[in-house]
């Protein structure tokens, strides 16, 4: 049996460092953007993330792309 993987959905997650807690550890806030086309190029998604980060008050700690796929036995 062969496995076929089909892209279904993709999301963009930006983690912002919003300050520090009482012990000096960083505090984070996460923004998630859904509806990203599964076939969109990684560079294009990254460029959008950079544009969105430029609109934020806080610096970005990480940029993640979460891809959802469907695995089908063929």
User: pLDDT per residue over 33-57, tens digit each?
Assistant: 999 999 999 999 999 999 999 999 9
What does pLDDT average to over the chain?
Answer: 95
pLDDT band at residue 74 using 50, 70 and 90 as cut-offs = confident
What's the total number of domains in the chain? 1
Give the pLDDT score at 36: 95
In a domain, 54, yes or no: yes
Q: How far is 48 from 29, CA to CA, in rounded Å?
A: 18
Query: Which is it for the CA torsion 45, 46, 51, 57, positive or negative?
Result: positive
Element (H, E) at 16: strand 3-20
In angstroms and rounded to an integer, the radius of gyration of the C-alpha atoms of the chain is 16
The answer to whether residue 48 sits within a structural domain is: yes
- The CA distance from 11 to 36, in Å, is 6
Q: Specify the pLDDT at position 1.
A: 75
Instruction: Give the sign of the dihedral formed by CA 20, CA 30, CA 68, CA 45.
Output: negative
Question: Considering the domain boundaries, does residue 17 fall inside one?
Answer: yes
The verdict on residue 1 lying in a domain is no
């Amino acid at each position: 049996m062969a496995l076929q993987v089909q892209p279904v959905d993709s999301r963009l997650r930006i983690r912002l460092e919003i300050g520090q807690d009482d012990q000096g550890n960083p505090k984070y806030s996460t923004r998630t953007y859904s509806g990203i086309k599964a076939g969109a190029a990684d560079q294009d998604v990254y460029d959008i993330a950079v544009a969105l980060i430029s609109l934020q008050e806080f610096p970005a700690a990480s940029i993640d792309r979460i891809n959802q796929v469907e695995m089908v036995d063929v």
